[in-house]
Structure 1
């Protein structure tokens, strides 16, 4: 039994060492095209999630389309209360000022959030 294992191990080591002296070849044009096609089928980032919350506006930059919100917990995104900045279309920011209490909706792509609805809270 030990002899069989030693022989098998010897063959494995020989095969590994024989491949060490060989250099890999650069992919051919057809292989590059196939790799590019495969890139289109790669897994996409996580789907966009939608959340709703209430917040206090702490900063607005209409020129950059940014709003910073000190928001309550957002259950749909499993977020605790926090302050963060979001992208927002400038038209959503026209009737809002720092200090306003707002109800908002946002889309989160896993990296950044975009406010899709923003209204003064009543």
Structure 2
């Protein structure tokens, strides 16, 4: 009986040690640098902002939503062909601008949306 108890104890000990060893080999989650520092400044940016200049005609204004629609010519800096498109704009930039006006404008493009940063009516 002593021999059986000794063998059973030895087997239990081997099984326990094997189980402990498997837990030690478990992969650990990778920690992000942004999580460690609590700062978003180290997170990669989606895209860089590009700046372009164009000439176009105002086809719609929604000052309440801060959107102006321009039918513009080519914008070389952004490699855009002529098109009609809506852009975000601060309402104060629209002072003196109305539908039908020909304008020079500058735009910031983040790869998804554009924001008009400057607009001025072209004298006819």
1:37 offset after TM fit, Å?
2.5
SS in 2 for 1:98: coil
Any unmatched runs of 5+ in structure 2? 1-25
What's the counterpart of residue 20 of structure 1? none
**Bigger-Rg structure (1/2):** 2
TM-score by length of 2: 0.68
TM-score by length of 1: 0.69
What's the counterpart of residue 110 of structure 2? 109
SS in 1 for 2:97: coil
For 1:86 and 1:26, the matched residues in 2 are separated by 48
Structure 1 consecutive aligned stretches of length 4 or more whose deviation exceeds 2 Å: 35-43
What's the counterpart of residue 62 of structure 2? 61
What's the counterpart of residue 76 of structure 2? 75
What is the CA RMSD across the aligned residues, in angstroms?
Answer: 2.4
Cα shift readout 1:65-87 (whole Å, capped 9, x = no counterpart): 10000000000000000000000
Any unmatched runs of 5+ in structure 1? 1-24
What's the counterpart of residue 46 of structure 2? 45
Paired residues in the alignment total: 95
1:94 offset after TM fit, Å?
1.9
Cα shift readout 1:98-122 (whole Å, capped 9, x = no counterpart): 0000000010000000000000012
What's the counterpart of residue 121 of structure 1? 122
